Amino acid sequence: MSTLAFAILGVAVTTALLIWGSLRVFRDAERLQRDPKALRRRLLLFGSLYVASSVFAIFQVATGNSPPINLIGIPIAAALIWAFLKAAGNVEIPRP
């Protein structure tokens, strides 16, 4: 019975977090359309997060802590890194 209650609680919390996150995405999307500096920062942040996670995965495989199959997602991460950094480079920030 406690497993069922834990599962229901987990689904409820996850649903609440998804709704909260979705509302934040909508609000942030409007702000990012108005502010090119914030858009560029966000794209650079996401690109750097993918770079850091890819380096960590490669390091874990190189040291033998993880199996080589964990590197299967590196090409997808590299494509996302390229897309984020290219988009950040294409954002035109107006000069004052």
Q: What is the pLDDT of residue 48?
A: 95
Beta carbons of 66 and 57 less than 8 angstroms apart: yes
Q: For residues 73 and 58, what is the distance between their CA atoms, to the nearest angstrom?
A: 11
Distance in angstroms (rounded) separating the CA atoms of residues 11 and 18: 10
* pLDDT above 80: residue 1: no
Ranges assigned E (strand) in the chain:
none
- Say what the pTM is: 0.71
Report whether 85 contacts 51 (CB < 8 A). no
Share of the chain above pLDDT 90, in %: 68
pLDDT in tens, 59-83: 999 999 999 999 999 999 999 999 9
